[in-house]
């Protein structure tokens, strides 16, 4: 049997996120350039990934297991993720967008009993699992300091994440062992953020850049926290082309306290990246 339930952060959060993206002063897309008005970049991100999930109903909140998807379900800790960003500068106003996606699957004989969405999968059971996420970062920024060598500003923004997670295998429901049980949950979380950004040209061909986004918010049945930071350096190999390196850290937590889903998602990525950027 299969159960699929979609959960979205309440409408008020979604509206706030949309308003932040449209009207707010947000951190610019990563790896921007001071010399040009428009830029687009492609990045290869090499993160270390940690994923912890608990899914239970309110009536069975004490039964749900904290599941480490890498340790318990054999999902890879390390992946190569493509990431894309682009942006434009209109005087002191800076707009941009980021996107990256992660899709992992695993298969393992369980080392312990785990409970996910009302199904208990016993130790030694063979299970398949999946965890997919899509992350969108929409930005509009304002630079308080802006000259030929430095750009510095404060920020708010919108960080939209979609999660899709699943487990399938021989399991029991209410103590009754049945056939293969499939459980899948997805969640959409558009969250507003605040932060800061800086770009500093240290030499004619070399720019350093950094950004920081943060959120801690509780509304109704949802409790969210997000930390998204990146530092990097670009070297202009031609007038409109640069190579760069960066280090990105993302720590995302979403707690849910609803009748049909009492649990949480914690998702952490951190690691180096290389990028190619075109600007004009």
pLDDT at 47: 92
Over residues 198-225, the mean pLDDT reads: 87
Calpha distance 203→194 (Å, rounded): 30
Is the pLDDT at 59 greater than 70? The verdict is no
**DSSP reduced 3-state for 225:** strand
Return the closest-CA partner of residue 222 out of 4, 11, 65. 11
pTM for the predicted model, two decimal places = 0.81
Residue 274, CA distances (Å) to 55, 89, 156, 229, 248 in order: 36, 23, 26, 16, 11
Looking at residue 63, its pLDDT comes to 66
pLDDT tens digits along 74-133: 998 888 889 999 988 898 989 888 998 989 999 999 999 998 888 899 998 999 999 998
Pull the structure tokens for residue 274. Answer: 């290389």
Instruction: Determine the pLDDT at residue 275.
Output: 95
Per-residue model confidence (pLDDT) at position 58: 62
Average pLDDT, the chain: 82
DSSP string, 104-152: EEEEEE-SS-EEETTEEE-TT-EEEEEEEEEEEEEEEEEEEEESSSEEE
Give the pairing of strands 119-121 and 126-146: unpaired
Residue scoring higher pLDDT (26 or 151): 151
pLDDT value of residue 192: 86
Q: What pLDDT, in 10s, does the model give residues 235-246?
A: 999 989 999 999
Q: Please give the Cα distance from 77 to 69 (Å, whole number).
A: 9
Q: Cα(87)–Cα(252) distance, rounded to whole angstroms?
A: 24
pLDDT digits (tens, 9 = 90+) for 17-39: 333 333 333 333 344 567 788 99
Model pLDDT, residue 62: 61
């Amino acid at each position: 049997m299969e159960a699929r339930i979609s959960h979205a952060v309440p409408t008020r959060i979604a509206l706030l996120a949309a308003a932040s993206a449209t009207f707010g002063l947000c951190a610019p897309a990563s790896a921007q350039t001071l010399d040009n008005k428009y830029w687009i970049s492609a990045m290869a991100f090499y993160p270390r990934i940690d994923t912890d999930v608990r899914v239970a109903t309110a009536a069975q909140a004490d039964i749900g297991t904290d599941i480490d998807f890498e340790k318990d379900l054999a999902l890879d800790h390390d992946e190569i993720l493509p990431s894309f960003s682009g942006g434009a500068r209109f005087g002191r106003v800076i707009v941009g967008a980021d996107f990256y996606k992660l899709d992992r699957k695993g298969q393992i004989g369980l080392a312990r009993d785990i409970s996910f969405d009302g199904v208990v999968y016993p130790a030694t059971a063979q299970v398949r699992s999946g965890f997919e996420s899509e992350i969108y970062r929409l930005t509009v920024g304002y630079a308080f300091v802006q000259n030929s060598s430095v750009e510095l500003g404060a920020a708010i923004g919108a960080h939209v994440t979609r999660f899709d997670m699943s487990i399938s295998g021989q399991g029991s429901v209410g103590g009754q062992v049945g056939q293969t049980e499939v459980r899948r949950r997805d969640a959409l979380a558009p969250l507003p953020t605040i932060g800061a950004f800086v770009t500093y040209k240290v030499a004619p061909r070399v720019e350093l850049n950094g950004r920081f986004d943060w959120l801690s918010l509780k509304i109704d049945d949802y409790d969210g926290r997000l930390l998204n930071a990146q530092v990097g350096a670009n070297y202009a190999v031609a007038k409109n082309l640069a190579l760069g390196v960066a280090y990105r850290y993302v720590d995302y937590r979403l707690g849910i306290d609803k009748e049909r889903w009492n649990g949480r998602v914690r998702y952490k990525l951190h690691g180096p990246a290389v990028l190619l950027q075109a600007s004009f």
